[in-house]
Amino acid sequence: MKRQIDDYLRAWKESKTRRPLLIRGARQVGKTYVVDAFGKAHFTHYVKINFEHEAAFRELFRAENIGEICRGIELLKGVPLVEGQTLLFLDEIQACPEAIVRLRYFFEEKPGLHLVAAGSLLDFTLSTWSYSMPVGRVEFVYMYPMNFTEFLWGMGETALADYLEGFQIKRDVMSRPVHEKLLKWVRYYYFIGGMPEAVSVFAETGSLLEVEKIHERILTSYALDFAKYGSRKQQEIMQYLLEYIPAVTSRKFKFSSVNPEAGWRSAQIREALELLEKSRLIHFVYASKASGIPLSKDKNQRVFKLLFLDIGLLNHQLKLRLLDVEELVTNHKGALAEQFIGQQLIASGPLFMERSLFYWLREKRKAEAEIDFLPDFTGELLPVEVKAGSSGRLRSLHVFMAEKKLPKAVRYNTDLPSAMRVDIRIPIGGGMQRVEYELYSLPLYMGLNALPKT
Estimate to the nearest angstrom the gap between the alpha carbon of 317 and the chain centroid: 18
Please name the residues in contact with 41: beta carbons below 8 A apart, sequence gap of 6 or more: none
Grade residue 190 by pLDDT with cuts at 50, 70 and 90: very high
- What does the pLDDT read at residue 329? 44
The structure's pTM equals 0.93
Rounded average pLDDT over 210-221? 96
Instruction: Give percent of the chain above pLDDT 90.
Output: 78
* DSSP letters spanning 95-157: G-HHHHHHHHHHHHH-TTSEEEEEESSHHHHHHH-SSPP-TTS-EEEE--S--HHHHHHHTT-
- What does the pLDDT read at residue 334? 82
Mean pLDDT, the chain, integer: 91
56-70, 134-148, 240-254, 325-339: least confidently modelled range: 325-339
Q: What is the pLDDT of residues 365-390, one digit of tens each?
A: 666 889 999 998 888 899 999 998 76
Grade residue 348 by pLDDT with cuts at 50, 70 and 90: confident
Q: Residue 161 CB: number of other CB atoms within 10 A? A: 21
- In the chain, domain spans: 5-142, 166-450
- What does the pLDDT read at residue 332? 63
**Residue from 54, 376, 223 nearest 215 by CA:** 223
Between 296 and 132, whose confidence is greater? 296
- What does the pLDDT read at residue 442? 97
- What does the pLDDT read at residue 323? 55
Instruction: Give percent of the chain above pLDDT 70.
Output: 94
297 DSSP assignment: G
- What does the pLDDT read at residue 132? 62
Rounded average pLDDT over 272-301? 92
Q: What is the pLDDT of residues 111-147, one digit of tens each?
A: 999 999 998 877 777 666 666 666 678 999 999 999 9
Cα distance between residue 207 and residue 201, in whole Å: 8
**Cα-Cα-Cα-Cα dihedral of 195, 389, 329, 178, to 10°?**
-60
**Fold entry, domain 5-142:** Rossmann fold (3.40.50)
- What does the pLDDT read at residue 133? 64
Q: Residue 159 CB: number of other CB atoms within 10 A? A: 9
- What does the pLDDT read at residue 325? 53
Rounded average pLDDT over 408-436? 91
Rounded average pLDDT over 266-284? 94
- What does the pLDDT read at residue 363? 76
Give SS3 for 169: coil
- What does the pLDDT read at residue 128? 65
Q: What is the pLDDT of residues 322-333, one digit of tens each?
A: 655 555 544 568
Q: What is the pLDDT of residues 37-62, one digit of tens each?
A: 999 999 999 999 999 999 999 999 99
Grade residue 236 by pLDDT with cuts at 50, 70 and 90: very high
Cα distance between residue 417 and residue 402, in whole Å: 24
Q: For the chain, first and last CA: distance in Å?
A: 33
Rounded average pLDDT over 6-16? 96
- What does the pLDDT read at residue 454? 67
- What does the pLDDT read at residue 330? 47
